[in-house]
């Protein structure tokens, strides 16, 4: 399959700051890919390079088969900035109509685009009266002009309520099912885990991890926590059988490597009658993300 976006060994330096260092990645048609990373990790710089707004120092990049910023790429790429600004006196319909004209598209399709993002009823209201979620939808309608093959979305759901977020991702699902490639940056781990196909983690300008959440969980290989509630009077017996266990707030806790989990559970099950209950707590998304996005000194 030909990738919609192919980046190979991309490097970008600002003065002495290495914003991107040897970054390689692909995004295929129909794929929803999340770009994660701490503040200053290089996400916006990567998006600006993809859009052709800034030139890399070195590396190769192909956007929809063309060079970033050139006509072939620009015709097929859409960008939604985190805080898209609109003229508050224009209606949603006027805004989208105006941008359709700029892109030499037939403006008769403006209402259909607004309907697609759930703004048909508010299309003739001034944007100044719209909520943040509604303004974000205008931005998305604008981004959808001309059926883009690649959508680059900078924190598209920040500030949206849960229902607006769900609607937003449902629309992205439809676009991906139609073949669009989607690259979105986000700090909302739970939502991107559920709603994207693949995660890319940038840290200090380097791509430090890539894959689905199960892939990252396996690669991180973080310890599993096990909490044990002892039957009254048996905590010491359990601690003697499980030397790694520590007592905290009346419960017993231990951690073990992923590949020791079944052995550890087998040892606990032999303590039947002494154990009232156990909880097995896998590493959280935040643990896995912090593991990969750790910076020096943090």
Ligand X SMILES: Nc1ncnc2c1ncn2[C@@H]1O[C@H](COP(=O)(O)OP(=O)(O)OP(=O)(O)O)[C@@H](O)[C@H]1O
* Chosen residue from 4, 45, 164, 196 binding ligand X by CB under 6 A: 45
* Chosen residue from 27, 41, 100, 184 binding ligand X by CB under 6 A: 41
Q: How far is the CB of 42 from ligand X (least distance, A)?
A: 4
Q: How far is the CB of 159 from ligand X (least distance, A)?
A: 14
37 class by beta-carbon count within 10 Å (0-12 exposed, 13-18 middle, 19+ buried): buried
* Chosen residue from 4, 44, 157, 264 binding ligand X by CB under 6 A: 44
* Chosen residue from 30, 40, 59, 146 binding ligand X by CB under 6 A: 40
Q: Which residue number, 158 or 255, has a Cβ lying nearer to ligand X?
A: 158
Q: Which residue number, 31 or 155, has a Cβ lying nearer to ligand X?
A: 155
Q: How far is the CB of 39 from ligand X (least distance, A)?
A: 3
Q: Which residue number, 144 or 183, has a Cβ lying nearer to ligand X?
A: 183
Residue 249 makes contact with ligand X by CB under 6 A: no
Rounded distance, CA 236 to CA 217, Å?
33
Residue with tokens 């703004």, as numbered in its chain: 119
Q: How far is the CB of 205 from ligand X (least distance, A)?
A: 7
Of 103, 4, 7, 3, which is closest to residue 49 (Cα–Cα)? 7
Looking only at the bridges linking them, the beta strands covering 181-185 and 150-154 are parallel
Q: Which residue number, 111 or 201, has a Cβ lying nearer to ligand X?
A: 201
* Chosen residue from 26, 43, 165, 198 binding ligand X by CB under 6 A: 43
Residue 109 makes contact with ligand X by CB under 6 A: no
Residue 42 makes contact with ligand X by CB under 6 A: yes
Under 8 Å between Cβ of 277 and 251: no
Q: How many residues does the chain have?
A: 298
Q: Which residue number, 6 or 21, has a Cβ lying nearer to ligand X?
A: 21
Under 8 Å between Cβ of 100 and 106: yes
Looking only at the bridges linking them, the beta strands covering 181-185 and 246-248 are unpaired
For ligand X, the binding residues in 19-38 under the rule CB under 6 A are 19, 37
Site residues, ligand X (CB under 6 A): 14-15, 17, 19, 37, 39-45
């Amino acid at each position: 399959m030909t990738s919609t976006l192919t980046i190979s060994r991309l490097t970008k330096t600002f003065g002495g700051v290495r914003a991107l260092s040897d970054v390689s990645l692909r995004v295929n048609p129909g794929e929803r890919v999340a770009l994660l990373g701490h503040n200053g990790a290089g996400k916006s710089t990567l998006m600006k390079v993809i859009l052709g707004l800034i030139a890399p120092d070195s590396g190769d990049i192909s956007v929809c088969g063309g060079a970033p910023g050139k006509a072939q790429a620009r015709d097929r790429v859409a960008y939604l900035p985190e805080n898209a600004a609109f003229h508050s006196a224009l209606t949603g319909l006027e805004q989208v109509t105006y941008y359709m004209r700029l892109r030499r598209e037939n403006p008769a399709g403006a209402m259909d685009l607004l309907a697609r993002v759930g703004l048909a009823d508010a299309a003739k209201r001034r944007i100044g009266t719209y909520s943040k979620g509604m303004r974000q939808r205008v931005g998305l309608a604008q981004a959808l002009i001309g059926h883009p093959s690649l959508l680059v979305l900078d924190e598209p759901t920040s500030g949206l309520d849960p229902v607006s977020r769900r609607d937003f991702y449902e629309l992205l699902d439809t676009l991906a099912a139609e073949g669009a490639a989607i690259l979105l940056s986000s700090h909302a781990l739970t939502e991107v885990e559920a709603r994207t196909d693949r995660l890319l983690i940038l840290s200090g300008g380097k791509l430090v991890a890539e894959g689905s959440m199960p892939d990252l969980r396996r690669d991180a290989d973080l310890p599993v926590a096990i909490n044990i509630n002892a039957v009254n009077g048996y905590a010491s017996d359990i601690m003697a059988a499980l030397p790694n266990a520590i007592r905290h707030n009346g419960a017993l806790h231990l951690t073990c490597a992923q590949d020791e989990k079944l052995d550890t559970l087998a040892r606990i099950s032999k303590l039947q009658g002494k154990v009232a209950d156990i909880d097995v707590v896998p590493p959280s998304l935040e643990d896995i993300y912090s593991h990969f996005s750790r910076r020096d000194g943090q």
